[in-house]
Structures are given as C-alpha cells and as structure tokens.
Amino acid sequence: MPSVETVRGPVDTAALGNVLMHEHIFVLGTEVRQNFPGYLGAWDEDAQVADAVAKLNECAARGITTIVDPTVIGLGRYIPRVQRVAADVNLHIIVATGAYTYNDIPFQFHYNGPGLLFDMPEPMVELFVSDVRDGIAGTGVKAAFLKCAIDAPGLTPGVERVMRAVAQASLETGRPITVHTSVHNESGLIAQKVLSEEGVDLSRVVIGHSGDSADLNYLTQLADAGSYLGMDRFGLDVLLPFEQRVSTIVELIRRGYAERLVLSHDASCYIDWFASDARAAAAPNWNYTHVSDHVIPALLERGVTADQVKTMLVDNPRRYFE
C-alpha cells in the first residue's frame, strides 16, 4: 500500500479521504515580529495554537480528513508549532519543503552555490532532499512534497534557482511539486517549461492558484500538459469572484477535466501579512470551511456529480501523492 508522510507519521494514501490541497496553518515573519512586536497585531503562541486547533477541527467536522500545507522557507515554516496543532486535531496534515520567493533567494543562499563566491553544489537541493528523507530540523516530520513560487516579477534569477533546485530534489526523491503561480502573467506556463527542462513529469505538479483565472484557454493548456490545476483560493473573492470560480470549474468538468482539478482555499489560521480584522473584512469567506459549506453545494447545484466532487477531493490528491 502506498503511503504518504504526515506530521503524525506515514498514512496509507487510501486513508487520506477528502483533501484540501493548499492550506496554510501559520504564515509568520519571525524576524519582523521579534523586532516590531505588535505591528499588524500581537502574537500569543498558546492562544494561536488553540485557535488553529479550533478552526481545523471545525474543518474536520465538515468531513475533510487531510490538509496539505505548503508553508516553506519564506513563509515562516516552523514544524514544532505545527506538531502541537496536529496532536489535537482530527486531520492528517501534510507538510512541504522548498522556498517561497517572488524575487530573490534568501541571503543565506546568495553567495553559496554553483559558480558563486563560495563555489559548491546547489545547497538547496541537499537541504530539500534531507527534509524528505531524514525529516525536518530534527523533528522527525518528513516533507511529502516540494514547493516553489513564480509571481508577477516572473522568472527572476532567484525564482529560477529555487525552481530548478525544487525540480532536482523532486527527481531525486520522487516527491511531487506544488508551484505558487500568478494568472496575470500566466506564470504557470513558465513553471511548466522550467520544470520540464529539468525532467520533471508535469503530471506530478500542481499549478497553484490557477483558480484565480477564468481564462479557459490558459487553464486547458496547463491541464493538457498534464498538471493539476489548483482551484485553491476559494474565499479570495477579491481576486476572482465566487461565481466565476465556480462556473470555471463547472465548464472545465463539462470539458472532461475533473481528473486535473484540486480544491482548496489557501487560507491560514493566522497570517501576519495583514491585520486580522482588515483581512476578515476584505475576505470574509477566506477560511477552511467555505469549500464544504458553499463551493461543493454550488457545484452540485450546477450539475457536477458527487462522483466528480470525489474525484477532485479524494482521487486526484491520492494519485498526486502516490
């Protein structure tokens, strides 16, 4: 039986059940928070862990059994805190390795690497592989997939370096990839090109945030190359309204793409990029229960079958991790 690593250890892929494929728990900038405490809101460790447990158990009460958390370097990944949450929630939590940047790589990598001041093999590859094989920072928790990003600035040198390191670590470990992309510059296509050049099988890649687009030409092009489309920002109606997100999925399914779609919110229990009350006012449905409470009922109402919902929530995530 194929299994996948979760925060609480390996789980049979058949037991993953209903999976939200892109949710964060905590997105934190530790350095800013330590030096400017209170900026955009105070942080209380115990209260935030308890809040995360409550929010995730609410999600689990809807029948969701697994969440996939692509919080990596650049987003404040800190596995001991996720372990505290995982111990008290009725959900499998799958974590990632990789790096998240729209521009440059962290300075800790800037001078270290092939052809750089300190010439050495790409250190990120070895670090990402070790997160998969040996576990993350002594926690024993193993990363089950890799994550990188390409946003509005496109394929900057830093973005490309991370993407190629992620691809190489994926090939070495056999683990799949999720890419944060921007629909505005169709950067999913650039990601597919770079990952293909490295030899990655595009059917093992989620093109994240594809659901911000209603452009069926763009979306079917990505899916026809074999990748999953992350219809994964439900609740971010400010980026694309709910109705358009839903009708795009309905049309893609009508055209036979159910096996290429995964669902999620890209929500977090706590993200320190925004003041919490401003965020809640701007995106009131940006939480872990919107897909269960509103999206699936809307899809069913428009003729999507329960089987097709199962394909997106259960079968596609399972295949991705196998």
Q: Please, what is the minimum distance in Å from the beta carbon of residue 72 to Zn ion?
A: 10
Q: For residues 225 and 211, what is the distance between their CA atoms, to the nearest angstrom?
A: 17
Q: Please, what is the minimum distance in Å from the beta carbon of residue 116 to Zn ion?
A: 29
Q: Please, what is the minimum distance in Å from the beta carbon of residue 38 to Zn ion?
A: 25
C-beta closer to Zn ion: residue 237 or 266: 266
Nearest of 252, 239, 227, 262 to residue 304 by alpha carbon: 252
By CB under 5 A, residue 23 contacts Zn ion: no
Window 284-303: residues binding Zn ion (CB under 5 A):
none
Q: What is the C-alpha end-to-end distance of the chain, expressed in Å?
A: 10
Please count the residues of this chain forming the interface with Zn ion, following the rule CB under 5 A: 1
C-beta closer to Zn ion: residue 122 or 131: 131
C-beta closer to Zn ion: residue 222 or 253: 222
C-beta closer to Zn ion: residue 179 or 253: 179
Q: Please, what is the minimum distance in Å from the beta carbon of residue 214 to Zn ion?
A: 20
Q: Please, what is the minimum distance in Å from the beta carbon of residue 266 to Zn ion?
A: 4
Region binding Zn ion by CB under 5 A among candidate stretches 148-156, 194-202, 238-246, 261-269:
261-269
C-beta closer to Zn ion: residue 212 or 266: 266
Q: Please, what is the minimum distance in Å from the beta carbon of residue 239 to Zn ion?
A: 12
20 - beta bridge partners?
67
By CB under 5 A, residue 237 contacts Zn ion: no
181 - beta bridge partners?
150
Residue nearest to Zn ion (CB): 266
Q: Please, what is the minimum distance in Å from the beta carbon of residue 178 to Zn ion?
A: 9
C-beta closer to Zn ion: residue 36 or 273: 273
Q: Please, what is the minimum distance in Å from the beta carbon of residue 157 to Zn ion?
A: 23
C-beta closer to Zn ion: residue 266 or 272: 266
Q: For residues 180 and 102, what is the distance between their CA atoms, to the nearest angstrom?
A: 9
Q: Are 189 and 222 in contact (CB under 8 A)?
A: yes
Window 104-123: residues binding Zn ion (CB under 5 A):
none
Contacts for 77-82: CB closer than 8 Å, 24+ residues apart: 77/136, 78/26, 78/28, 78/30, 79/7, 79/136, 79/137, 79/139, 79/141, 80/139, 81/25, 81/26, 81/45, 81/49, 82/7, 82/25, 82/26, 82/141
Q: For residues 173 and 132, what is the distance between their CA atoms, to the nearest angstrom?
A: 7
Region binding Zn ion by CB under 5 A among candidate stretches 100-108, 193-201, 263-271, 281-289:
263-271
By CB under 5 A, residue 266 contacts Zn ion: yes
Residues at the site binding Zn ion, with contacts judged by CB under 5 A: 266
